[in-house]
A and B are shown apart, each in its own frame.
Chain A
């Protein structure tokens, strides 16, 4: 049993079925899932939220929630049945044989422990190393994770490190006891695209160097295609299809897999472009000139009494752009680039310190509450996370009727008709009107969010990362809806996104932002196919592609 050929199976999950006990009864999270991972192989598990992919990979470490019950199935890792292990055996198994890295490195690291202790702890517990040895090893590991100045960084606390750095620390901690299997659950989802590319490159390298088996869970087919040999596609707790990456990508047999691939924004055909109206003679609908937004840090009482000037941070620095009637602009950037601040300044939630915003050539008031009622309606925003942007205490009908009443857009008796009309516009069945917003799915909620913005009959629609909280097939539907609404209603669109593929699909112009400044600005095709700036090139290069990248290309 102990001597194994390299091609032998390391992990075997057989007919695994797990139920969750909830207030509403038992929910089947996994309905008989089977897959296997060979030694040295990388398996990708792809699926949307609720597909059971996370439950399946956590079960390999027997990390199952207290309200979960295993109904059937076995999990064999190196011939041992994980689900039959007792606590002592499990503790040895976790870390020594298999280790896991999680999606959000900021919540999965202990905030009150210096980094080296978290990396070294497993060595002390599992290997009986002294803390001194553990620290030396931890620094080595951190160096191997390409953390610059590892000796100094080892003493840092997690909050002192960036997101990408934290993920490197988490990988180091997982590798501390040299496991055979690394399970990575959405390891790069919380990271910016350039950082994601670095972390993926790191994972590829350590996998090659250590002959590590990898299970990579992701919603992103691109990430899996770049990293893995084989793919398992999951939906609703069951395996839809399994096979090699080439097989799944080029010849998917399952309908759902085909839909998943077709929904990748990078594969979606750019929406039909309007003829280039952006001639300089046409009066622009929206123009922004030299916009500057500063945030002041919170001021202490003593600071206020002593009249100390507050610390100012420039979120948006000298941003200008022009949009013609019916045009669409994508503002792209990584977190902290100031793209959301631009959106909030446009709709008047945040005041600008300098610059002008002109709608149809007329400058508008900086803050929304100072704008006349008609002007408030002109620009509306759709928010990023539909789970946060709808009032959970309201029904759909109340959510949509409120703006109509507040702006006195129609008589009370016309409201039902207007609501039905709005629901039809966003392709929702009218019987959802009486539901609470909390009873809807993410995609339905985002449609309600769009309908709410449309209720005020805006001319300019600002969409702030409207699809980043949604599953990829839902994202494709919402993007299609945006495209249709824009064409039918002649809306001018400002789309804020971190995803260049989404922008390419919807927008004629693109503005790339970095640290509050506009790095590059121009027609989408031109910027994406012939980027002038290094930063734009780096952003483009970092996007995971569905075609496999050879390991040698690093």
Chain B
């Protein structure tokens, strides 16, 4: 960097902040806001999210019920905040399993190549050859509804995305000079893979994981819609939309506000993905 035009003097923190893409900042802001809201619900509302209150059923948005009440008289605002806990958990745990399994398989296949790769890639192809949604729903149906089976089924199905991304990187990186240098200094395969290949192979996955978290929420909400996700009366955005679907013409607020919540969290995560892609695209 020979001649960077002189700007105003800044603190190191300020300089790093200035280099971050705006999309990343906004995305992090939205996502953090939801995390804070989900943690601080009991302080923000005095309503019980699952207590049935027949007198106030289908109450439109107003002074006491800010976003209205649902068919069982429960406050939508309160339920959305509690629902954020379930949905954020889905977004997080829904990608952790696939990342671990997919990265391991992709790394082993890409790094070692040969027979190992051939066998792992056949498993990969078998998994991809099933229709995605049908496979997830089938596994959840077999294991029984609930978040745990949802995470297990996602891990079993969704690892392929990460395996593909990591493998393609590892294939290139295993012949990179710095990996050969590590081998040349007598480092073990495990060390070379973990410390030299993996950190450099994770860039596309780090971007994809945010997009994937969005898809995971949407899929989890769809399962909630089908009754295979989080079980009532526990609040979950997808399930709330499903409940409100019957009242769309008479009480639109029951489905509308949880829908808005899903959209905003999805937007936040997508913006992070976009920002990360920009940030990692041309390394510092």
Mark A residues whose CB is within 8 Å of B: 23-28, 31, 50, 236-237, 301, 344, 347-349, 368-369, 371, 373, 376-377, 380-381, 383-385, 388-394, 402-403, 406-407, 436, 438-439, 449, 452, 456
Contacts and interface: CB of A to CB of B under 8 A. Distances in A.
16 contacts: A24-B4, A25-B7, A27-B2, A27-B5, A237-B3, A301-B118, A368-B184, A369-B186, A376-B186, A383-B180, A384-B177, A389-B181, A391-B200, A406-B186, A452-B181, A452-B185
Interface string B128-153: 00000000000000000000000000
A349 B184 contact: yes
Interface stretch (B37-45, B191-199, B228-236): B191-199
Given A28-B3, A406-B186, 11 more contacts: A24-B4, A28-B5, A368-B184, A373-B186, A380-B185, A383-B180, A388-B177, A391-B182, A391-B196, A402-B187, A438-B284
A406 B187 contact: yes
Interface in B162-186: 176-178, 180-186
Top-10 shortest CB links A-B: A376-B186, A389-B177, A393-B199, A388-B177, A26-B5, A28-B3, A391-B178, A383-B177, A25-B5, A403-B185
Given A349-B183, A349-B184, A439-B284, A389 B178 contact: yes
B282 interface: yes
Given A236-B2, A438-B284, A377 B186 contact: yes
B176 A27 contact: no
Contact of B185 (A25, A301, A394, A406): A406
B181 A27 contact: no
Nearest to B176: A388
Given A50-B2, A349-B180, A391-B178, A402 B186 contact: no
Contacts, number: 92
Given A25-B4, A50-B2, A371-B186, A436 B196 contact: no
Contact of A23 (B19, B181, B184, B196): B19
A376 B178 CA distance: 17
Contacts of A439: 284
Interface of B: 1-5, 7, 19, 118, 176-178, 180-189, 191, 195-196, 199-200, 282-284
Residue among B178, B184, B186, B283 with the highest chain A CB neighbour number at 10 A: B184
A456 B199 CA distance: 24
Given A390-B178, A392-B283, A439-B284, A368 B183 contact: yes
B225 to A, nearest CB: 42
A384 B180 CA distance: 12
Contact of B181 (A373, A383, A406, A407): A383
B184 A393 contact: no
A436 B284 contact: yes
Contacts of B196: 391
Nearest to A301: B118
Contact of B195 (A371, A376, A402, A452): A402
Contacts of A456: 185
A524 B224 CA distance: 78
Nearest to B200: A393
B183 to A, nearest CB: 6
Contacts of A344: 180
B121 to A, nearest CB: 10
Which among B177, B181, B183, B189 has the highest number of chain A CB atoms within 10 Å?
A: B181
A80 to B, nearest CB: 31
Contacts of A452: 181, 185
A236 B186 contact: no
Nearest to B189: A369
A438 B184 CA distance: 21
A436 B199 CA distance: 14
Contacts of A436: 284
Given A368-B184, A391-B178, A236 B1 contact: no
Contacts of A27: 1-5
A312 B50 CA distance: 72
Nearest to A26: B5
Nearest to B284: A438
Contacts of B183: 349, 368
Contacts of A368: 183-184, 186
Contacts of B199: 391, 393
B178 A406 contact: no
A376 B3 contact: no
B184 to A, nearest CB: 5
A347 B184 contact: yes
Contacts of B282: 23
Nearest to B113: A298
B22 to A, nearest CB: 12
A344 B183 CA distance: 11
Contacts of A402: 182, 185, 187, 195
Contacts of B2: 27, 50, 236-237
A346 to B, nearest CB: 10
